[in-house]
């Protein structure tokens, strides 16, 4: 006996998924895409920063270890280590979000992110949190690698978490803004080479800013990277060159400004909508 045609009434009509105030599934999928993007090339995104950081430690310890045995009573290599950890956070958080957006624009698949029902805040948050995650993972791996050669004690865990996460958020948000603004890879490279790297090097990573003469000392206190490194150094060593409260407030204000900029650029579709 041959079956007749299926009764159309038996076909279940698909129902659209209800989305509340926040598209949690879409946000998680967006974030997961950013996460898998750098984890699939872990040798480049995770292992390479460890090698570079250990080279910095070796070079500066050998070059300055005897000339500068201690800073503020702290052995030079121990004083140097938190700065190197923060520098890895700064560079990798920025690189992740800026390269992700720039690559999508160059390859023409940025539309794949714009088509789903994601708000400007959800789009921005997915990109930013991808950079934050990479920055914190790299920082953890770098700190563990440094601990093999330098004593890495924890003085204030809350300070470590706050300043590391705040720095990762700030640089990831800045990377989003730069990625949206840039029209070619040279634009991203120029920001990295002429702003990110110089500010991270001139923020007390390898030295105490107390040794700087004026006006360089005043400039150092205007550098937000200084407060990021100083706060993380306090978390590990209990030593600060500036004010911990001023640093926390400054970083919070910087994050608020950068996040507002991200929201605004996505809301108007800056350089990503026809």
Where do the domains of the chain lie?
56-268
Note the pTM of the prediction, 2 decimals: 0.90
Nearest to 53 by CA among 125, 145, 129: 145
**Residue 159 and residue 244 in contact, taking contact as beta carbons nearer than 8 Å:** yes
The pLDDT of residue 143: 96
Nearest to 174 by CA among 116, 89, 108: 89
The pLDDT of residue 121: 95
The pLDDT of residue 186: 95
**Cα-flanking dihedrals φ and ψ of residue 121, to 5°?**
-65, -40
C-alpha pair distances (Å), 224 with each of 140, 155, 195, 200, 220: 22, 22, 12, 9, 8
The pLDDT of residue 208: 84
The pLDDT of residue 4: 56
- Could you say which residues of the chain have pLDDT below 70? 1-17, 64-69, 274
């Amino acid at each position: 006996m041959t079956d007749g045609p299926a009764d159309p009434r038996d076909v279940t009509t698909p129902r659209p998924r209800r989305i509340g105030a926040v598209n949690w599934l879409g946000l998680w999928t967006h974030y997961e895409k950013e996460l898998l993007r750098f984890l699939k090339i872990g040798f480049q995104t995770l292992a390479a920063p460890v090698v570079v950081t250990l080279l910095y430690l070796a070079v500066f310890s050998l070059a300055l270890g005897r000339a500068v045995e201690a800073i503020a009573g702290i052995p030079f290599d121990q004083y140097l280590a938190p700065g190197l950890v923060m520098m890895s956070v700064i560079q990798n958080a920025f690189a992740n979000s800026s390269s992700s957006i720039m690559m999508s624009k160059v390859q023409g698949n940025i539309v794949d992110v714009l088509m789903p029902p994601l708000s400007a805040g959800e789009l921005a948050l997915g990109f930013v949190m991808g950079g934050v995650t990479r920055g914190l993972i790299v920082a953890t791996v770098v700190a563990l690698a440094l601990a093999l050669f330098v004593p890495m004690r924890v003085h204030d865990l809350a300070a470590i978490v706050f300043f590391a996460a705040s720095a990762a958020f700030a640089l990831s948000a800045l990377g989003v803004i730069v990625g949206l603004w840039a029209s070619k890879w040279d634009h991203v490279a120029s920001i990295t080479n002429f702003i990110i790297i110089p500010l991270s090097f001139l923020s007390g990573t390898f030295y105490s800013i107390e040794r700087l003469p004026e006006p360089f000392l005043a400039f150092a206190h205007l550098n937000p990277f200084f407060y990021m490194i100083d706060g993380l150094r306090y978390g590990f060593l209990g030593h600060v060159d500036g004010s911990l409260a001023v640093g926390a407030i400054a970083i919070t204000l910087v994050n608020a400004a950068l996040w507002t900029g991200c929201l605004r650029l996505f809301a108007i579709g800056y350089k990503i909508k026809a």
